[in-house]
Structure 1
Amino acid sequence: MDKLDTMRAFLTVVQQGAFTKAADKLAVSPQLVSKYISALEKSLQTRLLHRTTRRLSLTQAGSDYYQRCLQVIADIDEMESRLTEHAQVVSGTLTISAPMSFGTLHLPHLLMDFQQRYPQIKLKITLTDIKVDIVDEGVDVAMRIGQLADSSYICKKVAPINIAIMASPDYLAARGLPKTPAELQHHHYLKYVYSDDAMLFSGFDNMRHTIDFNDNLIANNGELLVNTAILGGGIVIQPTFIAGKALAEGKLVRILQGYEPKPVGLYMVYANRQYLAPKVACFIEFVSQYYSTPPSWDQV
């Protein structure tokens, strides 16, 4: 039996003057309160209460123990209160990892809005398209894009990510509009270095192994590839969060829409679900509610 429970029961019995009143206060049965007191006296090998049918009174040992219990329980309650208050203070440095292009194009507004709500949180942002180990790198939250494999980390999807096949009107006028995925092998392909073409084109009907792309430009940044496509450099396959504005302005045209890769997701990845630091929990909750459906980059 927990010693603190028995001590709290003893204090309540003394303060209420009766087992039944103490039981009501503690929301337990009178029998359990009696059991607590008996267990406490047994462990101390000392009688603490005089019991009669009319009233309860403290023995001398019980009076001394009561005073000590008051101090002990008060100290414990104060300590727990301070720890709880500390856990609820939303402050400190929040370390975030995010993809390069998504970070440069879409994080500034989010981060500014977040800091307006939580001004005591300092933000440390690392932009990289390389998957980092969040524990080894000391990252509180990683924002990642893709179809995430099962892992020991917690993954929370916060927005859909659509992927488009695009080229500029000038490029299509000069090189022709491909009607089927197979025709892409005759075009200039602006390749993102981290993409897995077998996965990227898995939505194409039975074509995943037959396209021999002419990778005349390979880069590790989607914005560079999209901007090159705008200038007529070739066909690019990139998320609409990068290309949405160019598509809305007619600088790029979506092609082969029936064969576009399946949408992926924007996820927040973090190490533990329980005992999250308030700064991490607040950021996760904030981002979870930040993006509309469809997200802003698909509304331009």
Structure 2
Amino acid sequence: MKLDDMELFVQVVDQGSFTKAAEFCELPKSTVSRRIRDLEQSLKSRLLDRTTRSLHLTEVGEAFYHKVRLILAEVEETEKEIAQKQGDYSGKLTVYAPDSILDLCIDHVTQFCRDYPDISLILHCAPQPQNLMTDKRFDLLLDIGTPADSSFIARPLAKLTFGYFASPEFLEKFGSPKTPDDLNKFDTIAMTAANSNISSWHFNQHELTLAPKCIVDSPSVIRSLAVAGQGICCLPTVLVAADLKSHKLIRLFNGEYEYKLTLYGIYHSRRFVPEKVKLLLDDVETLLQPRVDSIEGGVI
């Protein structure tokens, strides 16, 4: 039993004839007759008594008519509520993002909360591999590097420069690598393989396989360990900009092997994206790249 056929049945009753219902719905009369017959067949009941001059509801048809009117009214109300929520700037907005990225976007997130006080942000900062996100309920995922799951929609928001860094104390004690291959002789701190895009170390289109001293799932913790002299790290320049200025970290290889990765806003489907998700995406895309450029430019 189709909702469209139920609506058509109500129109036939309200209009008083198949002909008038066909004109009102802009359908051939034969189509109206066939669909009402199909509806009766699906219910195994006759709904209408037809003569050449009149149309009357059967006892079953009258009960069905009143029930269908209630159902259609409920459906209409539900559609209105859903449409309002889809375009409404209120309710929950669930975002997954690494803590380092959220720190970078904190000004945008703060302003977003001020501009839309009826939206409740739910922020998840723990690293979440994309292959585990398919069945999770979320509105937006911020992640670095090419999306691993093609079923998601990925919108590029900003490009981040990655480089290689170590503390002055570490370099004074162990020396400085001259080439990427020298890194095998040094203690290194790397991201867990949960995100292969930022756990791999890139050197002019090829990757280097290392045996890190420490494997960490938080870029912020990696930065702290590097500042504490525990090894060489590969991180976004924006994350270590303050440490470079204060000489707590030193850029290695004179920046020769720096490379860029894209930060993406990832969501489930291109169809019917809620307005509040579009708003946050637009804010981040508009404001984040200039901020990244300013921070990176300040430490070149």
TM-score normalized by the length of structure 2:
0.65
Alpha-carbon spacing, 1:9–1:206, altered in 2? closer, same or farther (3 Å): closer
Q: Does 1:240 align with 2:237?
A: yes
Unpaired runs of at least 5, structure 1: none
Q: Which residue number corresponds to residue 285 of structure 2?
A: 291
Alpha-carbon spacing, 1:177–1:197, altered in 2? closer, same or farther (3 Å): farther
Q: Once the 2 structures are TM-superposed, how far is the Cα of residue 127 of structure 1 from its aligned partner?
A: 2.1
For 1:234 and 1:142, the matched residues in 2 are separated by 30
For 1:46 and 1:222, the matched residues in 2 are separated by 68
Q: Once the 2 structures are TM-superposed, how far is the Cα of residue 30 of structure 1 from its aligned partner?
A: 1.9
Whether the aligned pair in 1 keeps the contact of 2:188 and 2:233 (CA below 8 Å) is yes
For 2:12 and 2:216, the matched residues in 1 are separated by 75
Whether the aligned pair in 2 keeps the contact of 1:163 and 1:261 (CA below 8 Å) is yes
Q: Once the 2 structures are TM-superposed, how far is the Cα of residue 75 of structure 1 from its aligned partner?
A: 0.8
**Cα offsets for 1:31-50 (capped at 9, x unmatched):** 10122345566753475233
Q: Which residue number corresponds to residue 201 of structure 1?
A: 201
- Which of 68, 75, 80 matches 2:75? 80
Matched to 1:80, the amino acid is V
Q: Which residue number corresponds to residue 164 of structure 1?
A: 163
For 1:130 and 1:47, the matched residues in 2 are separated by 58
Alpha-carbon spacing, 1:284–1:93, altered in 2? closer, same or farther (3 Å): closer
Q: Secondary structure at the match of 1:299?
A: helix
**Cα offsets for 1:210-239 (capped at 9, x unmatched):** x788x6x87664345546767998754211
Q: How many residues align?
A: 281
Q: Which residue number corresponds to residue 100 of structure 1?
A: 99
Q: Does 1:15 align with 2:14?
A: yes
- Which of 55, 58, 63 matches 1:58? 55
TM-score normalized by the length of structure 1:
0.65
Q: What is the RMSD computed on CA atoms of the aligned residues? A: 4.7
- Which of 116, 127, 130 matches 2:125? 127
Whether the aligned pair in 2 keeps the contact of 1:161 and 1:266 (CA below 8 Å) is no
Alignment of 1:146-161 (within 5 A): 146-150=145-149, 154=152, 156-159=154-157, 160-161=159-160
Whether the aligned pair in 1 keeps the contact of 2:93 and 2:122 (CA below 8 Å) is yes
Q: Secondary structure at the match of 2:203?
A: coil
Matched to 1:143, the amino acid is L
For 2:135 and 2:35, the matched residues in 1 are separated by 48
For 2:261 and 2:25, the matched residues in 1 are separated by 54
Whether the aligned pair in 1 keeps the contact of 2:265 and 2:281 (CA below 8 Å) is no
Alpha-carbon spacing, 1:109–1:28, altered in 2? closer, same or farther (3 Å): farther
Unpaired runs of at least 5, structure 2: 296-300
Bigger drift between 26-35 and 14-23 goes to 14-23
Alignment of 1:236-275 (within 5 A): 236-244=233-241, 253=251, 255-261=253-259, 263-268=261-266, 273=269
Matched to 1:122, the amino acid is S
For 2:264 and 2:47, the matched residues in 1 are separated by 64
Alignment of 1:3-42 (within 5 A): 4-39=3-38
**Larger Rg, first or second structure (1 or 2):** 1
Alpha-carbon spacing, 1:170–1:83, altered in 2? closer, same or farther (3 Å): same
